[in-house]
Amino acid sequence: MIESFQSLIFLAGKRSLYGSLRTHSSGSKTAEMLATALDAARRREFNDAETSWIVRIEELRQKLAASHDPIAFQDFGAGDALADRTVGEICRSSSISRSWGTLLFQIVRHTRPSVCLELGTSLGISASYLGAACILNGRGTVITLEGASSVAALAQKNLVSLGLTMATIIPGRFQDTLESTLTRYHPVDFTFIDGHHDRDATLRYFDQIKPHLSDKAVVIFDDILWSRGMRQAWRDICRNTGSSVTVDLVRMGVLCYDKTE
């Protein structure tokens, strides 16, 4: 699995991914903002306020990664498997890396969503990046769904410790919580799908989310190379999104969903 966003700067020889995205955006302002965000992430362009948030989030990550505290972990995406794991193990195996976290951060900073939805909170590192971007934007709320109640409770403590009060964690299976969440927080401007890595589940969640997307929304799918099923899900999404712009970042797939085109 490629973890360094820096390694994705040029995916085809020396042709810039960002220039290519702008060229093929068909005038979509959302795609243009995405191109700017990708370029900023590549250049690691952060002002003092942004850097301060990144440092705080990464300090939290280091604390969690070093923790030997046990926690009951239920993985609904793996046959409802229930196991005792340490907080550190979950952090190291499930939390988004700094490179990809700052990419999400930049996308939210540049697209300035009012409502951010996340499927798969884990310990709250990715939600922290989304929430920090919303604070710096002066607008936006983060709604994040987590299947394991024990993990959700710890994630909520982590978000509170950072002062991210605009972020709300909803515990429970996605199949039980997603529809009511979408109805309550409609329309959604930004979605990060990072849970239940299964072809049929991913397509089903996306179909649920689509009617609730704002006119110009960004949807990001994590781990599109996780399995054959996830690769097929991403191909299906790319083929069936009309004039929307899709970007393959190897680990993540990004969809600029524009209902107005």
Helix (H) or strand (E) holding 256: strand 253-258
* CATH code, 36: 3.40.50.150
64 domain-assigned:
yes
Q: How does pLDDT run across 97-135, given as a tens digit for each residue?
A: 999 999 999 999 999 999 999 999 999 999 999 999 999
5 domain-assigned:
no
41 domain-assigned:
yes
Alpha helix segments (H runs only) across the chain:
17-23, 29-43, 48-65, 87-94, 98-111, 125-137, 149-161, 174-185, 199-209, 228-239
4 domain-assigned:
no
3 domain-assigned:
no
Q: What range defines the domain where residue 51 resides?
A: 12-258
228 domain-assigned:
yes
**Domains: count for the chain:** 1
126 domain-assigned:
yes
Q: How does pLDDT run across 50-91, given as a tens digit for each residue?
A: 999 999 999 999 999 999 999 977 665 544 455 678 999 999
Q: Cis before residue 211, ω within 30 degrees of 0?
A: no
Query: Smallest Cα–Cα separation from 169: which of 212, 134, 206, 124?
Result: 124
149 domain-assigned:
yes
Inter-residue contact 184 to 212 (CB < 8 Å): no
Residue 108 pLDDT: 97
Residue 65 pLDDT: 97
